Structure 1
Amino acid sequence: MERYEVIKDIGSGNFGVAKLVRDVRTKELFAVKFIERGHKV
């Protein structure tokens, strides 16, 4: 996530959280969904 800067939370649901992020290099905005996947093995 070093390439992206989180701007704000857009919304949340049962499976994750949507966030507005900005590409640090190009300054382009994206919506990214972060999904909870449980414990890592």
Structure 2
Amino acid sequence: MKKISVIALEVGYSNYRYFIKVFKQYTHMLPSDFMDYFHS
């Protein structure tokens, strides 16, 4: 499983904390929760 910081960089965010904020705004969950949900 990739780190959130790596994923943020891959999709164009240089600041992974901002990526987490935007991700949560649109999905209503943290990226780590999203990854756990779809990898279990």
TM-score (norm 1): 0.21
In proportion to residue count, which structure has more strand? 1
In proportion to residue count, which structure has more helix? 2
Which one scores higher on RCO, CA 8 angstroms, separation ≥ 6? 1
TM-score (norm 2): 0.22
Q: Which has the larger radius of gyration?
A: 1
